[in-house]
Amino acid sequence: MKRLLRIVGLVGAIVAVAWAMRDRFISVAASREPEPPRFRAVEDVEPLAAIDGIGPVYESRLIESGITGIEALAKASPDSVAEAAGVSASRARDWISQARSRIGG
């Protein structure tokens, strides 16, 4: 019986020390290196403002909707471009045709 009490006491002491130092164990296990910077991939080299009729306001609206460059504009549908920029579908078709002619498609 004495031996069992000693073992239980020893295990209890180990658990108590581990509990008291738990923050130290966790901080040692956590990484101290900062995360590396994340870079955005640039889709297009030519900005949307290179298209006739697209100024800074329309360009910002298109970028907010996910159309970030001329290639993306050339691949977009007229309805999505018109809705994103708040223009007519015929104007959007004109922008898309200009973009396609610029990328050679």
Is a pLDDT exceeding 50 seen at residue 44?
no
Choosing among 1.10.150.20, 1.20.1640.10, 3.50.50.60, 1.20.200.10, the CATH entry for 48-103 is 1.10.150.20
Q: How distant is the alpha carbon of residue 93 from its chain centre?
A: 29
Tens of pLDDT along 67-98?
A: 988 989 999 999 999 999 999 999 999 999 99
> Which sign, positive or negative, has the C-alpha torsion 89, 94, 99, 105?
positive
Q: How confident is the model at residue 21 (pLDDT cuts 50, 70, 90)?
A: confident
pTM of the model: 0.57
pLDDT of residue 84: 92
Is a pLDDT exceeding 90 seen at residue 29?
no
